[in-house]
Chain A
Amino acid sequence: MDRRHGAGTLERVLNSSWLRPLIFLVLLTVLWDVTVRVMAIPPYLVPAPKDVALALIDQWDTLLAAAVPTTLATLGGFALSVAFGIPISMLIAGSRTVEAYVYPLLVFSQSIPKVAIAPLFVVWFGFGIVPKVISAFLLGFFPIVVSAVQGFKSVDQEMMDLARSMKASRLQTFRMVSLPHALPAIFAGLKVSITLAVVGAVVGEFVGSNSGIGFVLQRSIGNFELPTMFAALIVLALIGVVLFWIIDVIERLAIPWHASQRHLVVATA
């Protein structure tokens, strides 16, 4: 109740981790607004923040409805990335033969621009959710494989010797040593993957779809409705942020022992 207590609360709010990016965001928005006004940029090139905010409020329901198929396609592609990426990276890390045959091809396949082959999936699978999911999968898959392979392969030789000295079976070694050791790297890959999966879903919606944020983006830019387009971009960014944040929370629960999470353990200990 006293002033010192009030000051303490204020300080805590000022120091909280979510406030600083928020302050920065407000600053950027102000800068945006000032630039548009001072340089007299016409609204059909860059809309003012106010117009975007109005469009966001005005079309919130439509945008939210469009966000659903995009999110579903993202999650579907991400789930496929995990389901295929982790086992494949285990095979690559576990066998030199598999690594020699598969890994170079995998790297090579990544140099094919996904946007270029996305129309192909529309030809094959029509205008439904499938081409979007595949497109999200193709973008989200690779980062998981790369980071998981690196995680599995970076186990110390001494740690493997330790497991061998106890006569641990392959499964035991994997469960007790390799997998927990690889988890931090895997989570790093998952975070990159989920954001790329959003991009993949939107790419899928660009080339052939009649729903989703990608569709809204394309239609609004075709009609020169730039405030709507910017509002759709904001919703898209929100989808990415929320999904990223969910992975982050899961990571905290799954690997509380890791260096990146240690401040939390100390705080709760």
Chain B
Amino acid sequence: MASSHLKLVGEPPETAQRSPQTLIRVEGVSKTYRTRDGEVPSLQPLTFDIREGEFLVVVGPSGCGKSTLLKMVAGLLPVTTGAIRIEGTEIREPHDDVGIVFQSPVLLAWRSVLRNVMMPVEVRGLPREEYLERAKALLRMTGLEGFANKYPWQLSGGMQQRASLCRALVHDPKILLMDEPFGALDAMTRERMNIELQRIQHETGKTVLLITHSIPEAVFLADRVMVMSERPGTIAATYEVPLPRPRTLDVMGDPVFVKLTQTIRAHFYTQGHLD
């Protein structure tokens, strides 16, 4: 079991292609924040599924509650109504089969890159030797091989975020949750990170839920793009992205890509928001 799970490179799991099963089910989930001024609705009831091995990207304007949604799927925030289930189990606390990449790299400054990547293994009390190899393999895959013993501040922003991706993947979770992971990076680094993430997801067959406010990023990465509208957030539309994988930057010139980004952008224009 564990050894097959540890497989890093190779074909995506067969099941992901043949019988796309529902891995995450979000049912009637809403969120209302209680503040001093009363109750502030953040998310209207949402219902959607994420299939195993699927790359789902949620795109929406700032403040539409998309980060709230991700935190609830992560089990870091309780839902107000409804339920989120991973493989049928309702989420009430962080799930073991989930890795999270936050907006900022959140690397611990007092740990070397390798020890940062190994942190989930340490916390969960997993066998160190076994996962050390995996951590090193992940660093190799993300081009951080020579930086294992450096401190985070000795790395560039893009490298830090790659290290945090390694940390999210080290315990080999089925699900990867990413909250605007490349939002703080410059445009060129961001494009490169998109290509890498696309490749890593393709190679490992992880189920990914990624939040972004960049439409091209969403279309480039996703199997399915979920467009969210202004607060309180709702699902405005969902689009399948029929572009073949692995994708390169050339895809951005593809008529399908261009049409799709235009269609999605139109949602925000009609709402009067460009952001």
Interface string of B197-210 (1 = CB under 8 A from A): 00000000000000
For the complex, give the distance between the alpha carbons of A165 and B176 in Å: 12
Determine whether A258 belongs to the interface, using a CB cutoff of 8 Å to chain B.
Answer: yes
Total number of residue pairs linking A and B with CB closer than 8 Å: 56
Determine whether B110 belongs to the interface, using a CB cutoff of 8 Å to chain A.
Answer: yes
Out of A161, A168, A183, A255, which one reaches B102, CB within 8 Å? A161
For A255, the chain B residues whose CB sits under 8 A away are: 110
Task: Kindly identify, within residues 80 to 126 of chain A, every residue whose CB is under 8 Å from any CB belonging to chain B.
Answer: none
For A167, give the chain B residue with the smallest CB separation.
B94
For B122, give the chain A residue with the smallest CB separation.
A176
Task: Kindly identify, within residues 91 to 115 of chain B, every residue whose CB is under 8 Å from any CB belonging to chain A.
Answer: 93-94, 96, 98, 100, 102-104, 106, 108-111
Determine whether B123 belongs to the interface, using a CB cutoff of 8 Å to chain A.
Answer: yes
Residue contact A176 to B119, C-beta cutoff 8 Å: yes
Out of B110, B151, B153, which one reaches A180, CB within 8 Å? B110
Residue contact A176 to B123, C-beta cutoff 8 Å: yes
Determine whether B74 belongs to the interface, using a CB cutoff of 8 Å to chain A.
Answer: yes
Residue contact A167 to B96, C-beta cutoff 8 Å: yes
For the complex, give the distance between the alpha carbons of A12 and B101 in Å: 47
Known A180-B110, A257-B151, A262-B153: A168·B123 in contact at CB below 8 Å: yes
Determine whether B78 belongs to the interface, using a CB cutoff of 8 Å to chain A.
Answer: no
Task: Kindly identify, within residues 160 to 175 of chain B, every residue whose CB is under 8 Å from any CB belonging to chain A.
Answer: none
Determine whether A235 belongs to the interface, using a CB cutoff of 8 Å to chain B.
Answer: no
Out of A159, A166, A265, which one reaches B120, CB within 8 Å? A166
Out of B93, B106, B122, B153, which one reaches A158, CB within 8 Å? B106
Residue contact A167 to B93, C-beta cutoff 8 Å: yes
Determine whether A164 belongs to the interface, using a CB cutoff of 8 Å to chain B.
Answer: yes
For B151, the chain A residues whose CB sits under 8 A away are: 257, 265
Residue contact A165 to B74, C-beta cutoff 8 Å: yes
For the complex, give the distance between the alpha carbons of A44 and B268 in Å: 83
For the complex, give the distance between the alpha carbons of A163 and B124 in Å: 11
Determine whether B76 belongs to the interface, using a CB cutoff of 8 Å to chain A.
Answer: yes
For the complex, give the distance between the alpha carbons of A1 and B96 in Å: 66
Determine whether A27 belongs to the interface, using a CB cutoff of 8 Å to chain B.
Answer: no
For B119, the chain A residues whose CB sits under 8 A away are: 166, 176
Determine whether A45 belongs to the interface, using a CB cutoff of 8 Å to chain B.
Answer: no
Determine whether A35 belongs to the interface, using a CB cutoff of 8 Å to chain B.
Answer: no
Residue contact A158 to B94, C-beta cutoff 8 Å: no
For A164, the chain B residues whose CB sits under 8 A away are: 76, 94
For the complex, give the distance between the alpha carbons of A158 and B108 in Å: 11
For A168, the chain B residues whose CB sits under 8 A away are: 123
A208 vs chain B, min Cβ distance (A)? 45
For the complex, give the distance between the alpha carbons of A172 and B122 in Å: 10
For the complex, give the distance between the alpha carbons of A255 and B110 in Å: 7
Determine whether A162 belongs to the interface, using a CB cutoff of 8 Å to chain B.
Answer: yes
Q: Is the interface of B mostly helix, strand, loop or mixed?
A: loop
Interface size on A, residues (CB 8 A): 22
Residue contact B109 to A165, C-beta cutoff 8 Å: no
A177 vs chain B, min Cβ distance (A)? 7
Residue contact A167 to B102, C-beta cutoff 8 Å: no
For A159, the chain B residues whose CB sits under 8 A away are: 106, 108
For the complex, give the distance between the alpha carbons of A35 and B110 in Å: 51
Known A180-B110, A257-B109, A257-B110: A166·B104 in contact at CB below 8 Å: no
For the complex, give the distance between the alpha carbons of A243 and B93 in Å: 48
Residue contact A166 to B106, C-beta cutoff 8 Å: no
For B108, the chain A residues whose CB sits under 8 A away are: 159, 176-177, 180
Residue contact A156 to B93, C-beta cutoff 8 Å: no
For the complex, give the distance between the alpha carbons of A159 and B103 in Å: 11
Out of A166, A257, A259, which one reaches B94, CB within 8 Å? A166
A82 vs chain B, min Cβ distance (A)? 20
For B124, give the chain A residue with the smallest CB separation.
A166
Known A164-B76, A166-B94, A167-B94: A258·B109 in contact at CB below 8 Å: yes
Interface string of A242-264 (1 = CB under 8 A from B): 00000000000001011100100
For the complex, give the distance between the alpha carbons of A258 and B153 in Å: 10
B10 vs chain A, min Cβ distance (A)? 27
Interface string of A161-194 (1 = CB under 8 A from B): 1111111100010001100100100000000000
For A183, the chain B residues whose CB sits under 8 A away are: 110
For the complex, give the distance between the alpha carbons of A29 and B251 in Å: 75
B209 vs chain A, min Cβ distance (A)? 14
Residue contact A158 to B74, C-beta cutoff 8 Å: no
B residues lining the A interface (CB < 8 Å)? 71, 74-76, 93-94, 96, 98, 100, 102-104, 106, 108-111, 119-120, 122-124, 151, 153
Pairs A–B under 8 Å by Cβ, sample size 20: A156-B106, A158-B102, A158-B103, A158-B104, A159-B106, A161-B74, A163-B123, A164-B76, A164-B94, A165-B94, A166-B123, A167-B93, A167-B123, A176-B108, A176-B123, A177-B108, A180-B110, A255-B110, A257-B151, A257-B153
The 4 A-B residue pairs with the shortest CB-CB distance, nearest first, are: A166-B123, A180-B110, A257-B110, A168-B123
